[in-house]
Amino acid sequence: MPVYEYNALDKKGKNVSGILDAESAAVARQKLRGKSIYPVSIKQVQQNAAMGNQRDLSSIRLFDRIKPAEVSMMTRQLSTLLDAGFPLVTAMDAIVPQISAPSFKKIVTQVKTTIVEGSSLANALSTHPRIFSPLYINMVHAGETSGTLEVVLDRLADLMEKQETLRSRIRSKMFYPIFMAIFGTAILTFLLTVIVPNITSIFIEMEKTLPAPTRILIATSEIFKSWWWIILLILAAAFYVMGRIKRTAQGNLFFDRMKLSLPIIGPLVQKLAVARFSRTLASLLENGVTMLTALDIVKNIVGNMVMAQAIDNATQEVGEGHGLGQSLSNHDVFPHLPVQMIQVGEQSGELEVMLNKLAVIYETESESAIMGMTALLEPVMILLMGVVVGMIVLSILLPIIEMNQLVA
């Protein structure tokens, strides 16, 4: 069924806008008039669900992206309405007006239209892979198959909220160090390109032999002042080349392996990956997704190609009849504790419970590690800035001290 976007006036003469589905523009106008809304303009958004999906995705611009929090809120609302006894289509009709993002509102309307045409919710969501992940779609499919869709949606909303909370905490902890790095770089660039040349020009005019630190400072300042555009080009080229390399499978694998080998970053990346692996696998298994399907989904969300390959190899071994813990123990990228806890969970028949406990442990450890890193970064960055500024001041003072000694 086509979807229409409208601008209209309500009974009080206020401008209102939104979207609705109807057989034709004339029927859309009738629906609006039935709600005491008088259309000014009506524009068709899609011809059918498939064409609408492509057009909708292309309309999501850089500053109009759908946030995970909006998907999570929609999931929570749908779960609540289904639990209250609302039919699926009626529940989605009630949700659409509550969505604030226009692009997401269009997508949810298209999903509802696809359901009205006879598709399941999971199949309707799968036509929007950029918005709904394989994890989301498979959990919804499991809920529809088992008849517990409202329970699955509630757990899915919990999972998304916990992941978003962890991401928000990480972003908030990293904000200050990143700000300090940018601010410090700007100050040093200003000193070297504006302040230092004005001061050192006096020393150059004296035509006397300057101390080595002063000569180094003058040379550095000249490089920054005269060749700053080349420095920017080199940095831009380096980022571009790294980006191109990371887009390849081998390049991405190389960088992910390098991350794991770094002294401080490596353990943190590993902990975050294990936390995502445990939390997601537990949620999938709790909602009736088979082990092999769940592992195939989880390998795509751990965020590290090396660990994803280990999970992929473990999946093949599980398919051959081996236990998950035993299969993961054959790969060094997984720490000893998760492997042990998974083995205990398999032996006791409480694998999902053990995976949830494992997720809590590693989420807590990840957050503590990030807090420790940021607490350490702040004094280190201040110390580095102090050393650099001190070297600049010393390089300027040394010629002045020498001149005073000659005068004395």
User: Minimal CA–CA distance to 307: which of 332, 283, 285?
Assistant: 332
Strand 38-46 vs strand 3-9: parallel, antiparallel, or unpaired? antiparallel
Contacts by residues 270-273 (CB-CB < 8 Å, ≥ 24 positions apart): 270/304, 270/307, 270/333, 270/335, 271/362, 271/365, 271/366, 271/369, 272/303, 272/362, 272/366, 273/302, 273/303, 273/304, 273/307
pLDDT per position as a tens digit, 2-23: 667 777 777 776 777 777 667 7
State both tokens at 177. Answer: 């160090």
CATH of 148-408, one of 3.40.50.300, 3.20.20.210, 3.20.20.150, 1.20.81.30: 1.20.81.30
Contact 265, 117 (CB under 8 A): no
Listed in sequence order, the DSSP H helices in 61-148 are: 68-83, 88-95, 102-116, 121-125, 134-146
DSSP string computed for 139-204: HHHHHHHHT-HHHHHHHHHHHHHHHHHHHHHHHHHHHHHHHHHHHHHHHHHHIIIIIHHHHHHHHH
Contact 314, 328 (CB under 8 A): yes
Q: What is the mean pLDDT of the chain?
A: 81
Q: Is the pLDDT of residue 63 over 60?
A: no
d(CA 288, CA 273): 23
d(CA 241, CA 356): 40
The answer for residues whose C-beta is within 8 angstroms of residue 311's C-beta and 6 or more apart is 277, 295, 298, 299, 302, 328
Residue type, position 150, single letter: E
In the chain, domain spans? 1-46, 148-408
Distance of CA 246 to the CA centre of its chain: 17
pLDDT per position as a tens digit, 91-134: 888 888 888 888 888 888 889 888 888 888 988 998 888 888 87
d(CA 407, CA 384): 35
d(CA 69, CA 61): 18
Provide the percentage of residues in the chain whose pLDDT is more than 90. Answer: 12
Distances (CA, A) of 250 to 17, 247, 314: 48, 9, 20
Distance in angstroms between the alpha carbons of the first and the last residue of the chain: 94
Give the class (CATH, top level) of 1-46: alpha beta
Cα dihedral across residues 246, 249, 254, 259: positive or negative: positive
Its pTM stands at: 0.64
pLDDT in the model for residue 316: 92
Q: Is the pLDDT of residue 282 over 80?
A: yes
Label residue 162 by pLDDT band (50, 70, 90). confident
d(CA 72, CA 165): 12
